Structure 1
């Protein structure tokens, strides 16, 4: 029976050792997660600080040091590009047939000719448009268009 008691003690010791290692690994994982969380909070604080600094100095960029001035100018340029893209999105819609970007006031797609909406009339009861004229309806159209956005006629 001593043999079985020795095996029991050995297994108990191994189990306790494994349990201790598991606790150590678990604690290590918890500490690692806490460190990651704190690093993320620090990063967010830097972003917040930079945002405040940028807000305070974006109008008076000449008073900044060269390093800060370059960063503020880069952010200012990115803001400008973002606003341009937002305006572009607002001023365009997309053809339901070919998914091409088309002007918001288009009645027909300028690429595939699909009717996209009813014609909008201006104050004189005429269809509104831009640049060169359509040979069928007489409305102005953009040079790059393949179809009139008002009557759907192919542009020659």
Structure 2
């Protein structure tokens, strides 16, 4: 019996030690998670501090920060250049045949080779649109006052009256057999159905 009691005591002690180690590991993992969360918060605060300093002292920074401030200025210029490129691409014309983005003054598509058809600016009732710069001028002007380009002369276009297609009357159809009926028929001549 003494051996059995000794064995159960050792097993119980070992189990308690394993449970305690597991609890310690769990507690350590929880605390490690808390540490990483606080470090992440601290890094965000450092980032905000750095951004505020860079904005507040963009021209009067200390010599220790010169290389970082120059790098920030360079990246800001790059961002502006990329944003401008995005705007240019959004407003860029596309090829009607293949959909490729066209160069600003391209006469032919660089992908499929088809000729680029540029829409002529329409004359408004108030004036004409300069094909070079897009400025609106009075109809009586011969040259654009914005860019000096010669303006096209637009002759009034006479529009033809729209052709109106008259609808032919729909033939009367028997609801029972689908045969065509006379307009005044009271019975179908094919199936005899009453109308």
Output the CA distance in 1 between the equivalents of 2:119 and 2:6. Answer: 94
| Structure 2 residue 75 is matched with structure 1 residue 78 | yes
2:17 alignment partner in structure 1: 17
Please tell me whether Structure 1 or Structure 2 has the larger radius of gyration of its CA atoms: 2
Highest RCO, 1 vs 2 (Cα 8 Å, sep ≥ 6): 1
Structure 2 unaligned residues grouped into runs of 5+: 133-195
Output the CA distance in 1 between the equivalents of 2:98 and 2:35. Answer: 50
Structure 1 unaligned residues grouped into runs of 5+: 130-156
Output the CA distance in 2 between the equivalents of 1:91 and 1:78. Answer: 20
Kindly state the Cα deviation for residue 110 of structure 1 after the two structures are TM-superposed: 2.1
Instruction: From the superposition, tell whether residues 102 and 27 of structure 1 become closer, same or farther in structure 2 (CA, over 3 Å).
Output: farther
2:87 alignment partner in structure 1: 90
Partner SS, residue 92 of structure 1: helix
- 1:6-155 alignment runs, 5 A limit: 6-58=6-58, 61=59, 63-92=60-89, 102-103=102-103, 109-113=109-113, 119-123=118-122
Q: Normalized per residue, which structure has more helix?
A: 1
Under a length normalisation based on structure 1, what TM-score does the superposition of the two structures give?
0.60
